[in-house]
């Protein structure tokens, strides 16, 4: 694994800091408090897990069922509450600047679940083959993926569907140790489908910071997190906002956007050389049509019409996914169901279910995931 040279790292972090200043980003956070009780008896549930999905922000309830989560990021957030023997629940909150919200939560008992030993005893060779397929899709196929480990694979159950392909479910969170980025990840798997043509999975995620063994590992994690951030959809959305403030910044951040010259029926066949593909198939995506007005306070609307081809000229060694012989740019494709997504001033997508991603940006998945409260301009893991 190649590391970022010191000069490159400083230049990149300065660019992110400058972008934040250009968009007048301030510490837009709030707090979320509440109380968790049994739905039938209204008795408090102490030591329940409550967390903001896709962040490191979370807490456990006190003896009286109360909790407090601070530094909640600006925008739409999802609170997840789980407790052994109860159905886990999700709640959506829309934070404005300096919001402080409170909520009461009542959990209902869940059906009796099999113990880990009982579940593990049912596994066979077919299950192991399906686990291998699941792991390759779920963790991705990168150097970082090979440094991740699923700690409790026995919670996974698999089925096969003629249309959906491999279907995976889990009654408890899938636990992953990511030794490349320094996070332990708890993934509440909601949906997983994978066949030869496509794959899709979604769920709620909680991150925990791992404790580095020494300063060298701490430094490595910081550098690897920058690697994971660069070329991601969040980095792209920040670069688009940057372009809105000052033209030419998309190119400076390493991105180029294209769209097909005209709609065609059937699959588009790209030439092995980018120059010929651009001449016959692609045109530059009109940058003046990238950002529009959002109807939600404090958010920006990123406009992406049709299937947008994204090129990213990485500065970090071997690209993850290249398809052209005459260039080493990474190639991804983005499709937005409604033609737009609303993002925060820090590039966080507020409608992740609306965005379809393929190509290089889809290679890492869980192994490349960063929490939403990760600050790319910070030197702290």
Clarify whether residues 142 and 183 are in a common domain.
yes
- What is the full per-residue pLDDT of the chain (381 aa) written as tens digits? 333 333 334 444 444 444 444 444 444 678 899 999 999 999 999 999 999 999 999 999 999 999 999 988 888 889 999 898 888 899 988 886 558 888 899 999 886 554 444 444 457 889 999 999 999 999 988 889 999 999 999 999 999 888 889 999 998 899 999 999 999 999 999 889 988 877 888 889 999 999 999 999 999 999 999 999 999 999 999 999 988 777 788 988 999 999 888 766 666 677 788 888 888 888 888 888 788 877 777 788 999 988 899 999 875 444 456 677 777 788 899 998 888 999 988 888 888 888 888 888 887 789 999 999 998 876 554
Clarify whether residues 96 and 138 are in a common domain.
no
Q: Is residue 8 part of a domain?
A: no
Which pLDDT does position 315 carry in this prediction? 56
Which pLDDT does position 337 carry in this prediction? 86
How many domains is the chain partitioned into structurally?
A: 3
Clarify whether residues 96 and 208 are in a common domain.
no
Clarify whether residues 268 and 352 are in a common domain.
yes
Which pLDDT does position 236 carry in this prediction? 94
Clarify whether residues 88 and 153 are in a common domain.
no
| Tokens encoding 11 | 């230049």
Clarify whether residues 201 and 305 are in a common domain.
no
Q: Are 284 and 309 in contact (CB under 8 A)?
A: no
Cα(297)–Cα(111) distance, rounded to whole angstroms?
41
Helix, strand, or coil (residue 208): strand
Clarify whether residues 87 and 158 are in a common domain.
no
Q: Are 357 and 228 in contact (CB under 8 A)?
A: no
Q: Is residue 271 part of a domain?
A: yes
Which pLDDT does position 7 carry in this prediction? 31
Cα(191)–Cα(299) distance, rounded to whole angstroms?
28
Clarify whether residues 98 and 173 are in a common domain.
no
Q: Which of 196, 223, 250 is the last residue of a domain?
A: 223
The domain of 316 spans: 230-368
Which pLDDT does position 320 carry in this prediction? 55
Clarify whether residues 43 and 103 are in a common domain.
yes
Q: Is residue 203 part of a domain?
A: yes
Clarify whether residues 357 and 251 are in a common domain.
yes
Clarify whether residues 335 and 206 are in a common domain.
no
Q: Is residue 358 part of a domain?
A: yes
Nearest-Å Rg of the Cα atoms of the chain is 22
Q: Are 167 and 193 in contact (CB under 8 A)?
A: yes
């Amino acid at each position: 694994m190649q590391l970022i040279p010191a000069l490159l790292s400083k230049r990149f972090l300065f660019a992110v800091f400058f972008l934040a200043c250009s968009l007048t980003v301030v510490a837009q956070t709030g707090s979320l408090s509440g109380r968790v009780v049994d739905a039938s008896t209204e008795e408090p549930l102490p030591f329940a897990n409550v967390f903001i999905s896709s962040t490191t922000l979370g807490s456990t309830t006190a003896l009286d069922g109360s909790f407090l989560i601070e530094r909640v990021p600006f925008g739409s957030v999802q609170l997840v509450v789980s407790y052994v023997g109860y159905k886990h629940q999700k709640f959506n909150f829309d934070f404005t600047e300096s919001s402080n919200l409170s909520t009461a939560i009542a959990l209902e008992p869940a059906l009796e679940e099999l113990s880990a030993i009982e579940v593990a005893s049912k596994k066979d060779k077919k299950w192991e083959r399906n686990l291998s397929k699941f792991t390759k899709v779920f963790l991705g196929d990168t150097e970082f993926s090979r440094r991740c480990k699923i700690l409790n694979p026995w919670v996974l159950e698999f089925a096969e569907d003629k249309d959906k392909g491999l279907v995976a479910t889990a009654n408890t969170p899938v636990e992953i140790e990511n030794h490349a980025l320094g996070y332990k990840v708890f993934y509440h798997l909601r949906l997983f489908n994978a066949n030869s043509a496509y794959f899709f999975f979604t769920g709620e995620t909680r991150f925990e910071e791992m404790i580095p063994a020494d300063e060298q590992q701490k430094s490595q994690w910081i550098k690897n997190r920058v690697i994971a951030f660069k070329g991601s959809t969040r980095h792209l959305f920040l670069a688009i906002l940057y372009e809105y403030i000052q033209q030419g910044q998309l190119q400076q951040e390493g991105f180029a956007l294209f769209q097909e010259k005209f709609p065609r029926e059937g699959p588009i066949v790209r030439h092995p050389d980018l120059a010929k593909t651009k001449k016959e198939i692609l045109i530059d995506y009109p940058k003046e049509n990238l950002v529009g007005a959002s109807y939600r306070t404090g958010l920006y609307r990123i406009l992406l019409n049709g299937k947008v081809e994204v090129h990213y000229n990485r500065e970090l060694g071997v690209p993850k996914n290249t398809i052209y012989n005459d260039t080493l740019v990474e190639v991804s494709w983005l499709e937005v169901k409604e033609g737009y997504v609303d993002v925060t001033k820090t590039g966080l997508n507020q409608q992740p279910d609306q965005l379809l991603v393929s190509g290089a940006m889809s290679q890492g998945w869980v192994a490349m995931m960063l929490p939403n409260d990760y600050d790319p301009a910070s030197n702290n893991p």
